[in-house]
Amino acid sequence: MRIAVASGKGGTGKTTVSTCLAALLAPEHPVALVDLDVEEPNTQLFMDGELLHREVVHKHVPMWRADQCAHCGQCQQVCNFGAVLSLPDEVMVFAELCHGCYACSELCPHGALPMEPQPMGVLRHAVDGELALIESRLEVGQEQAVPLIKHTLDYVDARVPAETITILDAPPGTSCPVIAATRHADLVVLVTEPTPFGLHDLSLAVETMRLLGREMLVVVNRHGLGDDAVEEYCRREGLLVAARIPHSREVAHHYAQGHLPLAVPEFREALGALAEVLAGRSS
Amino acid sequence: MKEIVVISGKGGTGKTSVTASLALLAGRDAVVADCDVDAADLHLLLAPDPDVEHPFAGGTLAVVDTQACSGCGACEQACRFEAIVVENGVAVVDDVDCEGCGYCARVCPEDAIVDERQTVGYWQNTSCRTGGAMVHARLGIGADNSGKLVAKVKAVAREEARARNTALVLVDGAPGVGCPVVSSLSGADLVLLVTEPSVAGLHDLQRVYQLVASFKLPAACILNKADLHEGLRDQVLEFLTAEGIPLLAELPYTTAVPAALAAGKTMLEWDISLAARLRAAWQGVAEQLQQSGRTP
Amino acid sequence: MIIAFTAQGDNWDAPMDPRFGRTRFLLVYDDEADTLGVLDNEAVANEAHGAGPRTASLLLENGADVLITGNGPGGNAGRALAGRVKVFAGAAEGTAREALARFRAGELKEFAI
């Protein structure tokens, strides 16, 4: 079963929830925690294990072969992203703009733009007993998160057994990296906070998940801190608030330290109930 | 005209809340640009006047003329993103997977595919309660390439600053390290890093700072929730010192911040001691801008 | 020498455009023939992706030796122009005519790509 943990707004507690759910479920179930926030992956700051596998993930970009080139300009013509420039004496490729569609390469009449691998990030797979910790990290300077997210999900498909409860820590926001991370999830847990920013971004996240046809649950973190507007919104929209995690400076302190706040009773209780629901659903 | 870009790496450190307060301090002297277009929140604090929404065309999507389509499958062969498949003798496009590369349209022997430009978002340019102009945008749900909409917001903000003869453009930047942040940072005269004393906050700060340093941009820092964790605060300060990033202010971890937000107010308006620190930070920003004196 | 200007209009009295990639027009001046060509960059200005390289390409196709502009080209455009075109930035204020005068008077600094 695949459970994505997402949020419209960053900083609502997405990673706190995904890591703690993994920690609560792992003793009794096979669990995989997959960090798909490839621009700023944080899960390994809180949980780590023995390294099982590490791979450099590549994207393919066209590389110009001067000796084959007839300077026809076809490559620049067929690139929709402005990633290939056919200059009088040189064909220039702008790798960060390249989407890897292969059009210029395959449509070049002279085979002057073969696609070559270029490193874009690193995938790391560690294990802690029955818990698999998979994280992908985009190289700083690489601008596109989506290809790495897709590759990581393919890796999970291939390497993680179907009975595993797979928790996907998604990136924040609602644009294409989030879509890539959540679109095939069986369930999406949306983490929000009871503030105007939390509410606004939750409504965008809900719209996104509806577009993707994903089933959702809402978790309200820092409950008690702001106002009731988020609860009102969930009521109006028929969204289930599956957990309310009380605001606590102690929890924030644990988190700041890089520790899972499971030692704080109210926190553990709130998430524990959610973990049970998820465990029940996945069997 | 100078441009200040506020970023954080990690979401939730208070970037937008701080930007809103600084925008009020700047008043008419700044055009505000909300470049956090994927879930933009700044307007909730600065209350821009409503305006005509200008559509922003982003990438393209493949659209199949089902009458002309012969079901030959050349498109399916060409597509690297598994976004077009032949089903029941006709090509069908998955709008979410389609990257808008146009390859299928180019290889279709029947000319049955059109590469159609999409509206991915909307932008507005109005006045807000700082007394100055505010340019903001919203990205369509699931839209591609927020970096381009960011570039548009910045371009409009700069033009507005030129037209109004405003000294500053103050940008609420995007989180992360991908193309929206890169786009947010382009042309900045000063980068303001808003961070918090936590392991995750420091980790993300270090990553985004790599990007800032690679563009050779001057940077300064505001540490929010500063008293949340002493040990981590020390680590953040160590990092800042090592990289030569001046610390302009420390803001305490206080419920005053969400309380202000719930009331639609900035920290500056809500709490006197926060206001004092924010003013000091703004003074620091002015000094940094003078010192760095980047010429265009 | 062919001198190009990033401009907001299509003649000598047009205000300079501080941007490169998304400049609305490129004015191309052949100082030997004393002729001024106008390149409409609207399609690229509205293009979301890769405006810098596309405008650079336009500039190079038209044989520019010198570019006079405001902010200077971004990284991608810079890569395309380096070693091919001399760039002079800082000419964002005033008209294209005034920018030419400043260039000739040696007032503009060469922009290091």
C71 interaction partners in chain B (CB closer than 8 Å)? 187, 296
Band the pLDDT of B295: cuts 50, 70, 90.
very low
Mean per-residue pLDDT over chain A, rounded? 94
pLDDT of B292 > 80? The answer is no
Q: In the predicted model, is pLDDT for residue B269 greater than 90?
A: yes
**Proportion of chain C above pLDDT 70, given as a percent:** 96
Q: Cα(A7)–Cα(A19) distance, rounded to whole angstroms?
A: 15
Mean pLDDT in residue range A184-188:
96
Measuring CA to CA, which residue among B204, B296, A115, B210 is closest to residue C93? Answer: B296
For the segment C31-51, what is each residue's pLDDT rounded down to a tens digit?
Answer: 999 999 999 998 887 665 678
Higher pLDDT, A97 or A234: A234
- Pick A82's closest partner by Cβ from C49, C79, C84: C49
- In the numeric block, the tokens 């929830």 are attached to A17
C-beta of residue B296 within 8 angstroms of C-beta of residue C71? yes
* Mean pLDDT of the A121-144 span: 93
Of A58-72, A101-115, A151-165, C72-86, the one with minimum mean pLDDT is C72-86
Kindly report the nearest CA distance between residue A275 and chain B, in angstroms.
24
CB C79 to CB A87 under 8 A? no
C80 CB within 8 Å of a chain A CB:
yes
| Domains of chain C with CATH codes | 2-110 (3.30.420.130)
Considering the entire predicted model, what is its pTM? 0.87
In percent, the amount of chain B with pLDDT more than 90 equals 72
Report the chain A residue with the minimal C-alpha distance to residue B38. Answer: A173
Predicted local distance difference test score (pLDDT) of residue B293: 60
Q: Which of C49, C81, C84, C85 to mutate to test the interface with A (most CBs of A within 10 A)?
A: C49
Q: What residue in A sits closest to C50 (Cα-Cα)?
A: A82
Can you tell me the mean pLDDT for C108-113?
86
Q: What is the pLDDT of residues B212-266, one digit of tens each?
A: 998 889 999 999 999 999 999 999 999 999 999 999 999 999 988 888 988 899 9
Reported as a pLDDT band with limits 50, 70 and 90, residue A202 is very high
- Amino acid A58: pLDDT: 95
Catalogue the long-range contacts made by C97-105 (C-beta closer than 8 Å, 24 or more residues apart): C97/C12, C97/C13, C99/C5, C99/C16, C99/C68, C100/C3, C100/C5, C100/C12, C100/C29, C100/C68, C103/C3, C103/C66, C103/C68
Q: Give B-chain residues touching C22 at CB under 8 angstroms.
A: 151, 155
Give the residue from chain C lying closest to B186, CA to CA.
C74
A151, pLDDT greater than 50: yes
Q: Which of A63-72, B9-18, C104-113 has the highest mean pLDDT?
A: A63-72
Contact of C36 with C29, CB cutoff 8 Å: yes
For position B296, what pLDDT does the model report? 35
So where are chain A's domains?
2-58+122-282, 64-113
- In chain B, alpha helices (H): 15-26, 43-46, 74-78, 103-107, 146-164, 179-185, 199-214, 230-243, 256-262, 267-270, 272-292
Residues in C whose CB is inside 8 Å of some CB of B read: 18-19, 22, 46, 48-49, 70-72, 74, 89-90, 92
Pairing assessment for the beta strands B219-223 and B84-87 based on DSSP bridges = unpaired
Q: Using the predicted structure, report yes or no on whether residue B65 has a pLDDT greater than 50.
A: yes
Evaluate if residue B12 carries a pLDDT over 70.
yes
Q: Pick the more confident residue, A163 or B179.
A: A163
CB-nearest partner of B145 from C18, C46, C48: C48
Does A94 contact C at CB distance below 8 Å?
yes
Average per-residue pLDDT in chain B?
A: 92
CATH 3.40.50.800 fits A64-113, yes or no: no
List the beta bridge partners of residue A117: A60
Fold for domain A2-58+122-282? Answer: Rossmann fold (3.40.50)
